[in-house]
Amino acid sequence: MSEERDANTPEAPTEPPIPSVPAPAIELTGLRKEFRGTVAVDDLTLRVGRGRFFGFLGPNGAGKSTTIKMLTGLLSPTAGSIRIEGVDPAQDLLGVKRVIGVLPEELPLYERLSGEEYLLFAGRMYGLSRAETRRRADELLDFLSLAEDRGKLIVDYSQGMRKKVALAAALIHSPRVLFLDEPLNGIDPVSGRVVTDLLSSLSKKGVTIFFTSHVLDVVERLCDEVAVIDRGRLVAQGTLDEIRTQREVGGHASLEDVFLKLVAADVKRPDLAWLG
Ligand SMILES: Nc1ncnc2c1ncn2[C@@H]1O[C@H](COP(=O)(O)OP(=O)(O)OP(=O)(O)O)[C@@H](O)[C@H]1O
Ligand SMILES: [Mg+2]
């Protein structure tokens, strides 16, 4: 007799459906990058929930930028897997690029364009209409206090102005996931506050922000979760409170105290007695 179920046969009672947990916005598993035998990122596994403001911390050379380059398709991993909003950049890089905005460590700006031309170019590249690109570019230039310098060539921009126009280009297509490598470096305090307020409001609207910074009081103010890496390896992840508890530091320890304990505890330094 056929085992096939007749369409009219009542279904056997099934388990109640498991409530669907939203897929993480960013997921990396066993991620590794070697450069000519040097391990820059070593078996890194992380999940970042949608809408999180996630601080990715570590000392110089820890592997933060290398990780961001792999997550955004600029470098291919030596091993491990990546999903951004469920999409694997190794399979569908364009699909990933459509949903992400990236402010890389080294700004790939077109020096011979003005700031305004660069934004118009970026918007059109993402497939926005001419009118919509123009509207968004104008608003971003105003928002970041670049309106007066909109016609100046990027080659003549100051460092902070370059950072701001690159940030505007990363935002123009309204990405769902933002990767920002040192976004505040070189930005003046007024624009810095404008940018951090904007990022906070984006994260409240559900945009996921993956952010590196060495300015730990800003990270402490903004981020709802952090990960700390050292020599390519994850050394802590969680909310600041969770990390304080795991590492048995006092409840009032600042993120800077925790960071120093995590990554500098065993570092011996010469006293430089000859200096001064
Ligand atoms: N293209 C490359 N070729 C060889 N080694 C590299 C390359 N890029 C990075 N590295 C090495 O990988 C390690 C991690 O570098 P990475 O730039 O990811 O650090 P980081 O955490 O971003 O540091 P910083 O805080 O200084 O920006 C370093 O040892 C660096 O020298
Ligand atoms: Mg870096």
Q: What angle do CA 223, 55, 52 make, to 5 degrees?
A: 55
Q: From the CA of 58, which ligand is nearest?
A: 1
* Residue 64 CA to ligand 2 centre (angstroms): 5
* Binding site membership of 24 for ligand 1 (Cβ less than 6 Å): no
| Tens-digit pLDDT profile for residues 212-240 | 999 999 999 999 999 999 999 999 999 98
Q: Do 243 and 259 form a contact (C-beta atoms < 8 A)?
A: no
pTM (two decimals)? 0.88
Annotation: CATH topology of 26-107+175-261: Rossmann fold (3.40.50)
| Tens-digit pLDDT profile for residues 107-165 | 877 889 999 999 999 999 999 999 999 999 999 999 999 999 999 999 999 988 999 99
Measure the CA–CA gap between 40 and 67, rounded to whole angstroms: 9
**Closest approach atom of ligand 1 to CA 62:** 21
* Binding site membership of 37 for ligand 1 (Cβ less than 6 Å): no
Q: Do 95 and 176 form a contact (C-beta atoms < 8 A)?
A: no
| Tens-digit pLDDT profile for residues 177-197 | 999 999 998 888 988 898 898
Q: Do 104 and 181 form a contact (C-beta atoms < 8 A)?
A: yes
Domain ranges of the chain: 26-107+175-261
